[in-house]
Amino acid sequence: MYAITTDHARHIVHVQISGFWSEDMLAPFSAELKAAVDSLRLAPGQHLVLIDVSDVAIQSQPVVAAFQKLIVHGPTRARRMALYTTQMLPRMQARRIAAVREDGSVFGSRAEAEAWLLAPDAAASAPISGAPVTTDN
């Protein structure tokens, strides 16, 4: 249902999410995510998160709300968060999840997501070529 890896050189936690989740899956996911972030040995909020939602099913509203709470108030809050998928329905749901963060965005490809994620902070707030899918509802 998920895989979490770290890129220590670029300070990125990469998350792959798939399938349909239940609320009870979020606690172990959150714990593993925290361990990955902690392994980077950075000051709080200095890491980046890249989330592949290409194989995720449309989630229930309680799961969406729990993900939103996790990315806003969780101990693993990143400096920036990019989600990506080529599929329309998961992208729409990803927009709803990312909308709770002004430093989060949704993209149609991993390349676009990484480019935005790794851009200097000033450039990341401006549109880039192949601009991200907006997080407007």
The structure's pTM equals: 0.83
| Element at 51 (helix H, strand E) | strand 48-56
Task: Please count the other Cβ atoms lying within 10 Å of the Cβ belonging to residue 85.
Answer: 25
Q: Which residues contact 40 (CB under 8 A, 6 or more apart)?
A: 6, 8, 11, 13, 47
* pLDDT value of position 125: 56
- Quick one: pLDDT band at residue 13, thresholds 50, 70, 90? very high
Lowest mean pLDDT segment, chosen from 14-28, 61-75, 122-136: 122-136
CA angle 93/99/102 to nearest 5° reads 150
C-alpha 2/C-alpha 52 separation (Å) is: 10
Q: What is the pLDDT of residues 32-91, one digit of tens each?
A: 999 999 999 999 889 999 999 999 999 999 999 999 888 888 777 899 999 999 888 888
The neighbouring-strand residues paired with 104 are 81
* pLDDT value of position 9: 96
- The winner for highest mean pLDDT among 22-26, 95-99, 130-134 is 22-26
Q: Which residue has the tokens 């899918």?
A: 133
**pLDDT exceeding 70 applies to what percent of the chain?**
88
Average confidence score pLDDT of the chain: 85
